[in-house]
Amino acid sequence: MEELDPLARIPEPIKHTAARVEDWLHEQREAIALRAGRLPAIVAYPGYGGDGWVRVLARVLLVEPGGERGAQYEDVRGWRSFTSLSLNDVDVTIEGGGVRHVVTADRGGVLDAIVPIRLDPGWQEVTVSVPGSAPVVAPVFVVDPATRFGIVSDIDDTVMVTSLPRPLLAAWNAFVLDEHGRTPVPGMAVLYERIAQQHPGSPFIYLSTGAWNAAPALTRFLSRNLYPAGSLLLTDWGPTHDRFFRSGKEHKRAQLRRLAREFPHMQWLLVGDDGQHDEELYGEFANAHPQNVRAVAIRALSTQEAVLAGGRKHAETRSMHPWVWSSNGGGLAKELGAIPELAVL
């Protein structure tokens, strides 16, 4: 039987009507932009990897010529980040560790590819390029095979207060405010830094239902508020191939399952809040993959935040793992530190 090439292109499934309409509109905008002289540029996001492989995350855009093309997008704030024009179905070259691979960016210009590259543990770099654009450095955190502990953290209302998912406030936060107008959750950065010091070499994965368009602002927010560097796992904006609008819950569910497959010997501290579906999703994952969960920490929203977020969504799904709740990072640190078998802090 012929061995399948993991880098081979997979035919796209039949698309939802909304996705076909979106693709048609994008093709018109792309053609106009190319005639106007726009050029391709790559915005790279922090990825991660393991023994002999890396997951490279980036987005290919069409931008005005001149200057540092990628910087034009990285400095965009507010609603303008959602009007950027992507370049779909373009071949992207990834180089690192003395090898080169060519993969294809998907709908939305998003590059999310696993490539067989062997790099030393820790933060490393690969280069990503497309025809007509200079190579861009993409950071990847390579997990040491001996590492057994990592952190998966939600972003909205877990590390920063956004009052999601109430539609009006969600739109305001996503399209109007930049990272300067977002408030960090008290004590969370200190908690994460203590965990990073206690467990050097442990990966931090920031898992959110937010769109890749917001990645530059989220990266600046995390850095400015002294959160440990980590990989972002966001989602694309707009319709998917099979539905009118993508499911944030399914995005998180799929990413958690993927982490369990990629790191079968890793145990994760899952951190979220009680204003969306984190308790439900973490409970499902912990029951399905008990060997991959160390503990679950839930940030309890204040009464005002809960009202703005549409109420609390306590789930009945629980696991036998330790679960802790508190309204801030200091409280979660105290609760986690009181459980000897966790060895988290």
Q: What is the pLDDT of residues 188-199, one digit of tens each?
A: 999 999 999 999
Report residue 34's pLDDT band, with 50, 70 and 90 as the boundaries: low
- The mean pLDDT of 50-74, rounded to a whole number, is 77
pLDDT surpassing 50 at residue 61: yes
Q: What is the pLDDT of residues 112-145, one digit of tens each?
A: 999 999 999 999 999 999 988 889 999 999 999 9
pLDDT surpassing 70 at residue 263: yes
Cα separation, 218 vs 207, whole angstroms: 11
- The mean pLDDT of 10-34, rounded to a whole number, is 55
> What are the domain boundaries of the chain?
38-142, 149-342
More confident residue, 82 or 267: 267
Residue 192 CA: distances (Å) to CA of 1, 30, 326: 48, 41, 15
Identify the CATH number of the domain defined by range 149-342.
Answer: 3.40.50.1000
pLDDT surpassing 60 at residue 208: yes
- The mean pLDDT of 60-78, rounded to a whole number, is 60
Report residue 183's pLDDT band, with 50, 70 and 90 as the boundaries: confident
Q: What is the pLDDT of residues 300-311, one digit of tens each?
A: 987 555 555 554
- The mean pLDDT of 35-52, rounded to a whole number, is 86
3-state secondary structure of 205: strand
Residue 294 CA: distances (Å) to CA of 267, 316, 326: 5, 19, 18
pLDDT surpassing 50 at residue 7: no
**% of the chain with per-residue pLDDT over 90:** 50
pLDDT surpassing 60 at residue 318: yes
Q: Which of 89-93, 104-108, 128-132, 242-246 has the lowest mean pLDDT?
A: 242-246
pLDDT surpassing 90 at residue 8: no
pLDDT surpassing 50 at residue 209: yes
**Predicted local confidence at residue 56, as pLDDT:** 97
**Predicted local confidence at residue 242, as pLDDT:** 46
**Predicted local confidence at residue 41, as pLDDT:** 85
- The mean pLDDT of 143-148, rounded to a whole number, is 97
Instruction: Give the mean pLDDT of the chain.
Output: 80
Q: Which of 35-49, 60-74, 281-295 has the lowest mean pLDDT?
A: 60-74
Cα separation, 74 vs 217, whole angstroms: 8
Q: Which of 65-79, 160-174, 227-241 has the lowest mean pLDDT?
A: 65-79
Per DSSP, helices labelled H in the chain are 17-35, 69-74, 167-175, 188-198, 215-224, 248-262, 278-288, 303-308, 329-337
More confident residue, 41 or 226: 226
pLDDT surpassing 70 at residue 231: yes
**Predicted local confidence at residue 175, as pLDDT:** 56
Pick the CATH number of 38-142 from 3.40.50, 2.60.40, 1.10.1740, 2.70.98: 2.60.40
Q: Which of 127-141, 159-173, 209-223, 266-280 has the lowest mean pLDDT?
A: 159-173
Q: What is the pLDDT of residues 153-168, one digit of tens each?
A: 999 889 998 765 555 5
Residue 158 has a CB neighbour count (10 Å cut-off) of: 26
